[in-house]
Structure 1
Amino acid sequence: MPQIRNPILPGFNADPSILLHNGTYYIATSTFEWYPGIQIHSSRDLSNWALHSRPLNRASLLDMRGNPDSCGVWAPCLSFSPITKKFYLVYTDVKRKDGSFKDTHNYVIIADDIAGPWSERIFVNSSGFDPSLFHDVDGKMYFVNMLQDHRRRPRTFAGIACQEWDEKKGLVGERKNIFKGTELDLVEGPHLYKRNGWYYLLTAEGGTGYEHAVTLCRSKDVWGPYEVHPEKHVLTSKDSHWAALQRAGHGDFVETPEGKTYLVHLSGRPITQERRCVLGRETSIQEAFWKDDWLYVKNGPVPSLFVDVPGTHDDTAYWAEQKYTFEKEIHRDFQWLRTPEHERIFRTENGKLVLIGRESIGSWFEQSLLARRQTHFSYDAETILSDFSPVDERQFAGLTAYYCRFNFFYLTVSGTEDGERELLILASEASWPDGKLTEPFQEPVKLPKEGKVKLALTIRGKEGQFWYALEKGDGWEELKKVGKVWDASILSDECGGHQAHGSFTGAFVGVACSDLNGWAKEAVFDEFVYRPVKHVSDRYEI
């Protein structure tokens, strides 16, 4: 059987939920504050995956304006009922996650076809996050989620709630706390299964950092009591600090038609001594097996970098240059932040991308930023800003490497009070809780009042550098460096704002436009290029 190298979904693709239906595997992952919500990837062989859809694509299903960083859509669960012949997608829209309280609203949407259309959302509860739906063989459905206790008596993550759910009646019967977790604490991410007369509860524990783990328990009754696996944690890197895949946890398993079992899980790949994962939490896969009606990960519990899978992996597309143009719809690699009203922040026109200047970069309400995931440790990015004439310093547009409002680097074309144009780097380097720009600013570059500007950046592991060029006749000048080499590793969960408040996404690269005058100044971009680069670091060949 061929081997593949993890992760199978590189870049920010966390909290995988896997489903096999009619010969196709589907994985749903979290998108947090990025819109449209939930990524569903598909594969015929568990090896080669492609983005299938993002189902939360209208305001009635998801509106995240005002959601703080790393809130929004957490831990979706995708399932299919062989009795109703319908697909079910469960998700949380987190409105607050800091301090003692978390406002976590859980919903279900339903479809006859995984491609949609999906129903209007059905509210279920707000008692905790990471919900999932279990379909028992008798047709009953059970809704499970972690329970939040702001009193900490004795834990904030109080256990796993289970309650019967009916498509028409909603939650019915008594809610029961069926598993309070092990001493590792922070029990979340529950998935229920039934196999050989046993009910299995798979959970995540230890937080989503370097103590993360997958914990398994079982019972003869869906309501428990549940006994914990002989090894407690079937997957974890918490005691193996030099394992290639760190932060391993939040899993879900699937059985193939050939009788093999595979566990998908989130993982992180740190590339610095500070253990920073610039690609965020990615989805990996492990082969598993059953012994005495218990699930074990092959060569586990530490996750393997190389895994045997049914398919032969083709990484040609992964290493190919991506040149994005804007003739019609925005390419599906791109997302934006929070708002379902994308027409207020961008449109395509005459083969170009038009960004409509809105609030500041990092706004939690309405900012004009269109970006794609960073999926390689090293890459080049380029864009051409073809039409933008700012009247003052409150109008700026350009190229950004972005994690959240507290962590970004932004090469902007801006104006001055006397109507000139200049090239200015705006950066926020983990200055939580203020979110202030890094000062003093690097020296601006004077630009002609009109004309196209090519903006570029190079990322080589933890080192980032901006570049620019002006038109020269029918071509372009050579790219020139702008500013110093900056530490790209701060665009990571480990630096995303304040560690104690949780940062859960990953680095993006894209274009943005702001008009702090409130005049909706527009910026026109001709194209966008993302070019993967193979590069050797001190930890990986990346």
Structure 2
Amino acid sequence: MKLNYFIQILMISLALAGAFIFDSCQSISGSGKPKFVNDSMVANFDYFTYKGNDDFYNDNPLPGDDYYYNPILPGWYSDPSVCTNGKDYFLVTSTFSYFPGVPIFHSTDMLNWKQIGNVLNRPEQLPLEGQRVTRGIFAPAISYNPHNETYYMITTNMKGGNFLVKTQDPFGDWSDPIWLPDVHGIDPSLFFDDNGKAYIVNNDEPDGGSTYEGHRAIRGIEYDVENDKTIGESIMLVNGGVDLSEKPIWIEGPHMYKFNGSYYLMCAEGGTSVNHREVIFKSDSPFGKYTPWNKNPILTQKHLNPNRELPITCAGHADIIQKDNGQWWSVFLACRPIDNKFENLGRETFMMPIRWSQEGFPYMTKDDELVPRIIRMEGVKRDSSITFGNFEKNDDFNAAELGMEWLTIRGNAEGLYNLKENPGFLSLKCADVTSNELKVPAFVGRRLQHHKFESTTKMYFTPGFETESAGMVLMKNELHQYLLVVEKVNNQVVVSVKMLTDTAVEVINSEAIHAEDEPVLLKITSNGTEFSFYYAQDNNEWKLLADKVDASYLSTARAGGFTGTTIGMYASGKKFEFNQ
């Protein structure tokens, strides 16, 4: 009898305790704090801010409302391609091993661009497993076929080969991949002739194979629009580049056009670094013979004084288009290095008008002309959707889905982040994955778009084990990262700044904090050449944790690769491991 009475008292006590815990969680959530998930450790981010503050924009205000800044898409929006249906313009860029793939921007005037989605937004369109950050999707090319009123995006996935997707509504979803087993190499592009025929041009091996490092060719093959497959054999259109005797390297990024009855083949040459340039060829038929213009290149900055002020480098990989008012414009990639030494922004999308030579060739620059940083587009006015200059972007995570600027790596990170469990918070699970593995980590990030910036977040996270950490990360690739994280070390909660290398995680500085159900504010700033890392707690006063941290460590000059740097939120339940 006494035992039964004791069991009843125990059950009542447990029930009251459970009700108290549930009510407490509801109260915490209602007071602006997240509910904590019981099945695993989770970091809850209340907001994320990003603010650019580059000197050039502060010192050089636009002279009128029909001017814009180059780059028109700052940050690593590389390999731009553009098309039009006659009234709407659509632009896409590379995303490599980030998900979703291939952002698509829309404009009605070529000046004011707005992202309307991502072409590859489903896992079945974008297999990226096991690929390094700088692999994945290379050089997407977008085209419009007026004969069937269909848009096509053709590209290379370095894991599976070349493929295309299509749609009649670029504001909606695109088809599953249509793989092109007879198109090899990289950088395919579709051209639709006015007679209804279609052709794919791409980078590949020359006939007989390469004879020197970087020796490539541009090849062409007919495409059957009705049956979505290639026809016949691939034919070499250009061997090596403009002048094979000079052993040109890495001819790629081809686009075919037809002007006044002639066919033009425009390509990048010289590799995507400082020797990058755009060249053009002309023919009477799609399959050649293609003759180079004797005043090539039509765009480059490679020969200019490297000590020039505010240099723009690596210009090339262009696409051109005619506006409805008859004007011709180009989009292309280029870089903005600091003091001509390094940059963390990657290859960005620039835009400038096209001129035509007396011989009938389009060109962007000649002689020692600079790519302009400020350009006027007459007859058009900027609106509130501008994508260039200094701007601030804040996300309070009140939406049901992530905004279009956010990226994950190698997949959609399904199950690793959540916006619904704690409304108003982005919840990241401490997954059994670290950011240096070729897997899908619990990471949600965005592009760096300015040399000088400030980024902050507010995080609720109490690590339960010394394997767990969460916070902010600056990521160039798997082996070049800076982390600002909360973790447990020697049974004490600390906030740390770390540098990730190919062999170790080096702690730059670390300080003890109290983190039981209390938020930690994190901040990263940059002056272009150096990063600073801060944290705050009770009184929200920022404490400097690490200053003058070398930003060049995340640059292409140091780390290589084709992307710029991303900044975002990260969580892991695993210690870093290295194969030494």
Whether the 8 Å CA contact 2:484–2:495 is kept in 1: the answer is yes
Question: 2:434–2:575: 8 Å Cα contact kept in structure 1?
Answer: no
Q: Distance in 1 between matches of 2:77 and 2:575?
A: 36
What is the rounded CA distance, in whole Å, between the counterparts of 1:153 and 1:337 in structure 2? 36
CA distance in 2, matches of 1:169, 1:111: 13
Q: Verify the 8 A CA contact 1:38 1:76 in the aligned structure 2.
A: yes
- TM-score w.r.t. structure 1 length? 0.86
Bigger Cα displacement from structure 2, 360-369 vs 484-493: 484-493
Q: Distance in 1 between matches of 2:377 and 2:515?
A: 57
2:473 equivalent to 1:400 = yes
TM-score between the two structures when normalised by the length of structure 2: 0.81
Q: 1:115 to 1:70 in 2, by over 3 A?
A: same
> How far off its partner does 1:47 sit?
1.8
- Which residue in 1 is equivalent to 2:435? 361
Instruction: Give the counterpart of 1:379 among 445, 453, 469.
Output: 453
> Does the 8 A contact of 1:213 with 1:250 survive in 2?
yes
Contact 1:468 1:480 in 2 (8 A): yes
User: Matched residue of 1:60: which SS?
Assistant: helix
**2:58 match:** none
1:21 Cα deviation from its structure 2 partner: 2.2
1:210 CA displacement: 0.4
SS of equivalent residue, structure 2 residue 354 = strand
State the partner residue of 2:361. Answer: 294
Partner amino acid for 1:276?
F
3-state SS of 2:344 partner: coil
What is the root-mean-square deviation of aligned Cα atoms in Å?
Answer: 2.2
Q: Which residue of 1 aligns with 2:237?
A: 178
* Contact 2:133-2:409 within 8 A present in 1 as well: no
Give the aligned partner of residue 312 of structure 1. 381
Provide structure 1 residue ranges, at least 5 long, that are not aligned to the other structure.
96-103, 519-542
- Residue 408 of structure 2 aligns with which residue? 336
Tell me the equivalent position of 1:257: 324
> Which of 453, 466, 470 is the matching residue for 2:533?
466
Change (3 A) 1:457 1:487: same
Q: Which has the higher strand share?
A: 1
Number of aligned residue pairs: 492
Task: Report runs of 4+ in structure 1 exceeding 6 Å deviation.
Answer: none
| One-letter amino acid matched to 1:376 | H
Superposition deviation, residue 74 in structure 1:
0.8
Tell me the secondary structure at the aligned position of residue 148 of structure 2. coil
Aligned to 1:493: 556
* Equivalent position of 2:344 in the other structure: 278
Equivalent residue, structure 2, for 1:158: 216
The alpha-carbon distance between structure 1 residues 178 and 334, as it changes in their structure 2 partners (threshold 3 A), is: same
Deviates more, 1:198-207 or 1:150-159: 150-159
Rounded to whole Å, the distance in 2 between the matches of 1:6 and 1:244 is 12
2:453, 2:385 → 1: CA distance? 16
Corresponding residue number in structure 2 for 1:478:
541
What is the CA–CA distance in structure 2 between the aligned matches of 1:517 and 1:244, rounded to whole Å?
A: 41
| Alpha-carbon distance between aligned partners in 1 of 2:544 and 2:108, rounded to the nearest angstrom | 44
SS at match of 2:187: coil
Measured after TM superposition, the shift of residue 111 of structure 1 is 0.5
Report what 1:409 is aligned to: 482
Q: Does 1:93 align with 2:157?
A: yes
- Alpha carbons of structure 1 residues 316 and 128: separation in structure 2 relative to 1, 3 Å: closer
Offset, 1:282: 0.6
Contact 2:254 2:266 in 1 (8 A): yes
The aligned amino acid for 1:455 is L
Alignment match of 1:142 (pick from 182, 199, 210): 199
SS of the residue corresponding to residue 505 of structure 1 reads coil
Amino acid in structure 1 at the alignment position of 2:548: V
Q: What's the CA shift for 1:166? A: 1.4
Conserved? CA contact 2:298–2:366, under 8 Å: no
Give the CA deviation at 1:211: 0.3
Q: CA deviation at 1:22?
A: 4.2
Q: Is the 8 A contact 1:357 1:367 kept in 2?
A: no
Q: Comparing both structures, which one devotes a greater share of its residues to helix?
A: 2
1:419-430 matched pairs, under 5 angstroms: 420-428=492-500
Aligned to 1:529: none
Q: Are the equivalent residues in 2 in contact too, given 1:63–1:340 (CA < 8 A)?
A: no
Cα deviation per residue 1:392-418 (whole Å; 9 max; x = unaligned)?
221100011221112211111011343
How far does residue 483 in structure 1 lie from its aligned partner after superposition?
Answer: 2.3
The SS at the match of 2:552 is helix
Alignment of 1:59-70 (within 5 A): 59-70=123-134
What letter matches 1:391 in structure 2?
G
Whether 1:505 and 2:563 are equivalent positions in the alignment is yes
Report the equivalent of 2:423. Answer: 350
Matched, 1:19 2:83: yes
The CA distance in 1 between the partners of 2:95 and 2:131, in whole Å, is 13
CA gap of 1:487–1:443, structure 2 versus 1, over 3 A, is closer
Are the aligned partners of 2:397 and 2:419 in contact in 1 as well (CA < 8 Å)?
A: no
Change (3 A) 1:299 1:187: closer
Q: Report the alpha carbon displacement of residue 70 of structure 1 after superposing the two structures with TM.
A: 0.5
Q: CA deviation at 1:251?
A: 0.3
In structure 2, relative to structure 1, the CA distance for the partners of 1:157 and 1:35 (3 Å cut) is farther
Distance 1:210 1:511 in 2: 33
Q: Percent identity?
A: 28
Deviates more, 1:161-170 or 1:138-147: 161-170
Query: CA shift at 1:347, angstroms?
Result: 3.9
Q: For 2:189 and 2:508, how far apart are their aligned partners in 1?
A: 48
Amino acid at match of 2:449: T
Q: Which amino acid aligns with 1:369?
A: F
Contact kept in structure 2, 1:287 and 1:298, CA below 8 Å = no
1:82 shift after superposition: 0.7
Deviation at 1:173, TM superposition (A): 0.8
- String of CA shifts for 1:473-499, please: whole Å, max 9, x gaps: xxx331000023201233222222xx4
Q: Distance in 2 between matches of 1:244 and 1:256?
A: 29
